[in-house]
Amino acid sequence: MIFVTVLVFGFLMTANLSLNALILAVWRLVGLASFPLLEDFLGHKEAKNKSSMALLFKNRVFILYLIPWTIFSLVNCFSWSIFSRIYGESFMRSSALISGIISGIFAVVAGFLADNVGRKRTLIAGFISFGIGYAVLGINPYNIYAWHFYTVLDGVTWGILSVIFLFTIWGDLSDGKSRQEYYAVGFLPYALSGLVRVTLGPLIAEFVPAYAILSFSTFFLFLAIFPLMYAPETLPEDVFRERELRGYIEKAKRTKEKFT
């Protein structure tokens, strides 16, 4: 649904970048506001919600996954203003549409990898690919071939991160408890990135050189990998054991067939 929404908004957006960002920010915040409304509708008690939220921020694993997601959201919203000044708003909209299509395609691959390789490894691969794209673009942000290379990696990264950070990881961490709070806070960096893009993005793009911003962005993207290195895998261990057992059984069958 996220990628369908992106395509719909691609046709509904105006030519004014600031207005577009404001519309997206309001849309995201409306979605964020629906979480507490949904909780009230389902009859959750306010005291229980406050207690769950306090425990949420004491969860070390949750923080280790929230930090890289926040860094990615901030880097992404600041870079949009820089790129729009370099390439123009219409070109950026076309590139965003292409990146969204790539994201939709790669989201299927990302889901398969997350369920087989693990959420943690898939996320690290996504951050590395995004960092490489920024590093190449940082060498010469005015090179159109570097931009096309970045657009592909941007789509791949969004496919990975959207599947895991918007749909999967918070459900794994909640373990069926306080699921609404986990998703609400986990959605917050993505929701607020539109507001940051409107308020601070144009100012930074005007006063800070593109090379400097891209260099800092590359640094912070690779820095975001460190919390993931200390975070445990959230894919249930019994899933790994079941796959290993199936692998041993298949290997034993092949060995038996070889000697019979």
**Structure tokens that stand for 178 in this block:** 């306080």
- Give the residue among 97, 78, 84 at the shortest CA–CA distance from 198: 78
Q: What are phi and psi of 233, to 5 degrees?
A: -70, 135
Q: How far apart are CA 53 and CA 65, in angstroms?
A: 16
Q: Model-level pTM?
A: 0.74
pLDDT tens track, the chain, 260 positions: 444 454 444 444 454 555 555 555 555 555 555 555 555 544 544 545 555 666 777 889 999 999 999 999 888 888 888 888 888 888 888 888 999 999 999 999 999 998 888 899 999 999 999 989 888 888 888 888 999 999 999 999 999 999 999 888 998 888 766 788 888 888 888 888 878 877 877 788 788 787 788 888 888 888 889 999 999 998 877 776 777 677 677 777 777 677 66
pLDDT of residue 45: 47
Confidence at residue 75, expressed as pLDDT on a 0 to 100 scale = 86
SS (H, E, C) 107-152: HHHHHHHHHHCCHHHHHHHHHHHHHHHHHHHHHCCCCHHHHHHHHH
Region for residue 43 given its phi and psi (left: phi exceeds 0; alpha: psi -120 to 50; beta: otherwise): left
Could you report how far apart the first and last alpha carbons of the chain are, in Å? 52
Residue that the structure tokens 């959230």 belong to: 234
What pLDDT score was predicted for residue 87? 84
| pLDDT score at 4 | 46
Which structural domains are found in the chain, ordered by start?
2-258 (1.20.1250.20)
Q: Tell me what pLDDT residue 250 has.
A: 78
pLDDT of the residue at 7: 44
**C-alpha span between 116 and 52 (Å, rounded):** 31
Which among 222, 227, 200 has a CA at the least distance from the CA of 79?
200
Residue 171: C-alpha distances to residues 2, 47, 176 (Å) = 17, 22, 7
Q: How far apart are CA 198 and CA 141, in angstroms?
A: 22
